[in-house]
Chains A and B, each alone.
Chain A
Amino acid sequence: MKPKITTYLRSIGMKKPLIERIGLVCDRFTQLTSLDIEDLFVSEYVLEDGTRAYDDIRIFAPGMIVEADQFQSHDSFFINPVEGLQRMAWEISAKKFDFKSATADSRLTARLSTGDYSVPFKASKENCEVLTTIIQKYLPAHQSLSNQQDNPPSS
């Protein structure tokens, strides 16, 4: 697993056992596909007591998005080949976050969709900045994130 991924995982408070599990998922993916992992994102949310609950992993590789749901207990992942990630649609909601600097109260949810396929992302605190970077990377070049502070999630 790339050092930048390990650094990212530690930055969102993840400890060694879970980092190793994610390392296992990454190794299996690269063994299976021989593809380079371009980006990795951990969907997480904050519980009432302030601790983080880690949900799913999203891996971006050339031409595909990989979902490792329930990664803490399952050794499985779902590879979804997508042609042209930049042609997909993003649905974004933010709370107390200006898409630049996150605080402890910042929250960001996003859903990446194309046709029948959609995959959710959830971020809190500093992870909002990481998700923003990913969204910006995979937005079409002429688009930009508008300020959607304190928008409620769409129904």
Chain B
Amino acid sequence: MPDTKPETVAAYLEWLQSEHKVNRNFLSRHYYDSVSSAVQRSIDASAFWQSLVSDFSRIHQEYQLDSEYSLFISNSLPQLLIKPHRSFIEKTYRTNVVHNEEWDSSPRHGWLLPGNWFTKVHDVVRTQFVVKYLDGVDFLVNSIQEITHKYGMTYSVDYEAKEEGYYAAHAYTEFICEVPDVDWDTRIITVSLEIQITTQLQDVIRTLLHKHYEDRRMKSSDSSVKWQWDYTSDEFSTNYLGHILHYVEGMIMEIRERQKEVAP
């Protein structure tokens, strides 16, 4: 394996073909769209998803009865979203190369390659819920867990708290899907559905910072200037804004709880 790291995504794609003998057809947008669409359709037709969509109002009402507040900021039903091809390839690039501390050996959990990357990349298909209050995150995490249990599905949750000021719960459940191969065959793979649950303030921050997160992710982690000391940078103000908003949301919850205690 040559010691020269691919410095660009284009070089990375060449590296996959030369070093790992990856058929270039597996790297194409067409193939990715074909597989991701098949996964999306599979999840959409699943009993779990149908149940989640139909229980949307019930979950909202249960929270409202319990807390006297609205759970969601909108009555819009959740949608299944597909990660764009470019973002997917960049994610594999970051794992295999940019953030691979074992380079030029495989990353700790192995190379991401076409034979496994639809399974190992957990957000090819995702959905998002935006709740009004911080306690809504936990409430929804538990409500969704009940639905996965009903159908005997796996379920795991990561409570994200990134130093960049991003706070959200990422829940995952798995599906067995039949997807096309590059030729006329199909294959059975396990894929995850990522369920992002965040608060309305964090959602605003994420929208503002999305481009910034994308750029930052592609940079190596050994950047010489830490953003925490670069008070002139956009990162400094926006990242700390994320932390401040999370704190404010915690304070709002505290006030809500006190009001509950005081109320006759």
Contact = CB atoms under 8 A, between A and B. Distances in A.
Contacts of B31: 120
B182 A55 contact: no
Chain A interface SS verdict (over half): strand
Interface string B177-197: 010101110101000000000
Interface string B34-50: 10011011000000000
B33 interface: yes
Interface string A27-56: 000000000000000000111100001011
B116 interface: no
B168 to A, nearest CB: 25
B186 A48 contact: yes
Interface in B2-49: 23, 25, 28-31, 33-34, 37-38, 40-41
Most chain-A CB neighbours within 10 Å: which of B28, B29, B33, B37? B37
B165 to A, nearest CB: 32
Contact of A73 (B29, B40, B178, B184): B40
Contacts of A152: 183
A67 B188 CA distance: 26
B180 A45 contact: yes
A109 B186 CA distance: 13
A118 interface: yes
Interface residues of B, number: 20
Contacts, number: 56
Nearest to A49: B178
A93 B25 CA distance: 14
Contact of A45 (B33, B184, B188): B184
A155 interface: yes
Contacts of B30: 56, 67, 69, 119-120
Contact of B37 (A47, A70, A124, A155): A70
Interface residues of A, number: 26
B38 A53 contact: yes
Contact of B28 (A48, A120, A124, A153): A120
Interface in B122-176: none
Contact of B183 (A56, A72, A93, A118): A93
Contact of B184 (A56, A67, A107, A119): A107
Interface in A69-85: 69-70, 72-73
Nearest to A94: B184
B160 to A, nearest CB: 27
Given A120-B25, A122-B180, A55 B186 contact: no
Contact of A109 (B38, B178, B184): B184
7 contacts: A47-B178, A47-B186, A48-B178, A48-B186, A53-B38, A73-B40, A153-B184
Interface of A: 45-48, 53, 55-56, 67, 69-70, 72-73, 93, 95, 107-109, 111, 118-120, 122, 124, 152-153, 155
Interface of B: 23, 25, 28-31, 33-34, 37-38, 40-41, 82, 178, 180, 182-184, 186, 188
Given A46-B186, A124-B184, 20 more contacts: A45-B186, A47-B178, A48-B186, A53-B41, A53-B180, A55-B34, A56-B30, A69-B30, A69-B33, A69-B34, A69-B37, A70-B33, A70-B37, A73-B37, A93-B183, A111-B25, A120-B30, A120-B182, A152-B183, A153-B182
